[in-house]
Structure 1
Amino acid sequence: MFDTMTFTKILGGFAGAFLVFLLGKFVAEEVYAARVGGHDGEVVQGYLIDTGAGDEDSGAEESGPSFDEVYASADAGKGERVFNKCKACHKLEKGDNSTGPYLYGVVDREVDTAEGFGYSGALEQVVDIWTPEHLDGFLKNPQGYAPGTAMSFAGLSKVEDRANVIAYLATFGG
């Protein structure tokens, strides 16, 4: 059935395929990475796209009304539509946790106090109480506001959307 020559051919085929994959990996590393300081230097990204994140002008505040001004005239009805993005992970019924904690009474509630939910602990290091201002900062960029948080949502970029959804959440509990 299997003689020595057949076994040698199969083993040689696997070894040859492995060498082709290693060669492909080597070529890809050379094409997509630039080496600094010679052959043994640090590997850095070969194709860098300038986003302007390091520019001095990027620190300027965005123009437009402040969160407090927008929140004063926020529409809870519009916030209900924005909350549809949150429904995948959060529920509004007290004690009904999902992927994320329940949001019943979240406005002006202490952080990490949803009963029965296991928090990562990252939020406690940033804030004590979920005031509308703290919720605004967190909803704008959860990972940037509380590094290490388990919330993987990218955030709401529009201040109006954040104010409306916070106004909607304020109608639950208290």
Structure 2
Amino acid sequence: MFDTMTLTKIVGALCGTLLVFLLGGWAAESIYHSGGGGHGDDHAQAYSIEVEGDDHGGDVVVDEGPAFEEVYAMADAAEGEGLWRNCRSCHALEAGENGTGPYLYGVVGREVSAAEGFGYSGALVAVADAWTPENLNLFLENPKGFAPGTAMSYNGMRKIEDRANLIAYLDSLDD
């Protein structure tokens, strides 16, 4: 039924088909993405639309939302308790029980390297003296951006309301 020559023809046909698809993909890529080189290249704008009465042509004002102090003043500790589940895989709430990260009981207002029995990375000690709500907010937003070289592998919490609620919950634990 099948001999070696038939099997060789089938494998050759599959390889030839794969080669045609690869060359077709390469050709299409060179046609549609010509010029420059990579995705990160800056290109000049092809055209701009003139708008009547647009004589200022100046800076664009970006609304960054409310300040953290305002959001923190309205924070809900009960909501923060639900957000705690993201943290408990590495941290504990009981004083002295360190995990992968230091315990977080009494963390708000505490000195950065004050958790007993935990070896902090030098990156955290260099950027802040105490864990104020503002410092915790910046750290929870982007740990690697706040303290480059930190050992914390968490990617960060994007919503300012979530960060404020979590910090309010942590602050409510130790009265």
Q: TM-score band, normalised by the shorter chain? A: 0.5 to 0.7
In structure 2, C-alpha distance between the alignment counterparts of 1:112 and 1:134, rounded to whole Å: 14
Q: Output the TM-score relative to the length of structure 1.
A: 0.66
Label 1:162 to 1:48 Cα distance change in 2 as closer, same or farther (>3 A): same
* Unpaired runs of at least 5, structure 1: 1-30, 32-45, 52-58
1:63 partner letter: E
In structure 2, C-alpha distance between the alignment counterparts of 1:171 and 1:48, rounded to whole Å: 47
In structure 2, C-alpha distance between the alignment counterparts of 1:163 and 1:63, rounded to whole Å: 16
Q: What CA deviation, in whole Å up to 9, does each residue of 1:90-145 have, x standing for no partner?
A: 11000000010000000000001110111111111100010000000000000000
1:48 aligns with 2:49: no
Label 1:118 to 1:47 Cα distance change in 2 as closer, same or farther (>3 A): same
Following TM superposition, where does structure 1 have runs of at least 4 consecutive aligned residues deviating by more than 6 angstroms?
A: none
SS at match of 1:171: helix
Match of 2:164 in 1: 163
1:64 partner letter: G
In structure 1, C-alpha distance between the alignment counterparts of 2:41 and 2:160, rounded to whole Å: 26
Q: How many residues align?
A: 123
Match of 1:68 in 2: 69
1:4-153 superposed matches below 5 A: 47-49=38-40, 62-153=63-154
* Unpaired runs of at least 5, structure 2: 1-25, 27-36, 43-59
The alpha-carbon deviation at position 60 of structure 1 amounts to 6.7
In structure 2, C-alpha distance between the alignment counterparts of 1:162 and 1:50, rounded to whole Å: 35
Q: What CA deviation, in whole Å up to 9, does each residue of 1:56-103 have, x standing for no partner?
A: xxx976532111000001000000111111111111000000010000
- Percent pairwise identity: 59
Match of 2:8 in 1: none
Report which of the two has the higher share of strand.
Answer: 1
Label 1:62 to 1:90 Cα distance change in 2 as closer, same or farther (>3 A): farther
